[in-house]
């Protein structure tokens, strides 16, 4: 887990980080994260823990006919319409999936697999007109 000082947007003082947060950051040697305007998860300046790695969770093996889930979390990104999952099929073809659920910091993909074999995937998004890989992985359909 990564630790940071969290400052709710509502506590900014004329657009500036409050002195309390700056002092806490110096004392703890932690970075400062400012919340979005509509982020009401935390109501005070505090140290928060963020899952390390901004990762994707998925099953490394899935049975034929079952649904594979790809869940991607990144607390520091807001996903746009260019975000997609490119799935390389065992026959070499590539299938593109759009997220079933796309929230501020979460992507969820679901797909049913019938053909056995090894699959690889990339979750990508356009960042400043360049395709950026957010996550990648390999799994088996048995």
99 and 37, same structural domain?
A: no
Query: How far is residue 27's CA from residue 39's CA, in Å, rounded to a whole number?
Result: 26
The mean per-residue pLDDT over the stretch 88-106 comes to 89
42 and 72, same structural domain?
A: no
Query: Count of CB atoms within 10 A of residue 123's CB?
Result: 23
71 and 134, same structural domain?
A: yes
Looking at 34, 50, 66, the residue that finishes a domain is 50
Convert the pLDDT of each residue in 7-63 to its tens digit: 888 888 888 999 999 999 899 888 888 876 656 566 788 888 765 545 788 999 999
Range of the domain at 43: 2-50
For the chain, the domain total comes to 2
71 and 42, same structural domain?
A: no
118 and 68, same structural domain?
A: yes
61 and 39, same structural domain?
A: no
95 and 70, same structural domain?
A: yes
Q: What percent of the chain has a predicted confidence (pLDDT) above 90? A: 41
Give the closest residue to 8 by CA, choosing from 32, 39, 48. Answer: 39
79 and 11, same structural domain?
A: no
64 and 26, same structural domain?
A: no
75 and 10, same structural domain?
A: no
């Amino acid at each position: 887990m990564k630790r940071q000082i969290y400052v709710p947007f509502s506590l900014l003082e004329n657009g500036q980080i409050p002195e309390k947060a700056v002092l806490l950051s110096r004392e703890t040697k932690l970075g400062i994260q400012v919340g979005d305007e509509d982020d009401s998860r935390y109501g005070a300046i505090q140290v928060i823990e963020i899952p390390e790695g901004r990762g994707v969770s998925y099953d490394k093996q899935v049975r034929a006919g079952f649904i594979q889930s790809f869940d991607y979390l990144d607390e520091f990104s807001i996903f746009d319409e260019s975000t997609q999952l490119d799935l390389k099929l065992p026959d070499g073809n590539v299938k593109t999936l759009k997220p079933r659920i796309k929230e501020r910091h979460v992507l969820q993909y679901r797909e049913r697999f019938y053909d056995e074999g090894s699959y690889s995937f990339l979750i990508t998004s356009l960042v400043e007109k360049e395709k950026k890989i957010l996550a990648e992985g390999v799994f088996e359909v048995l």
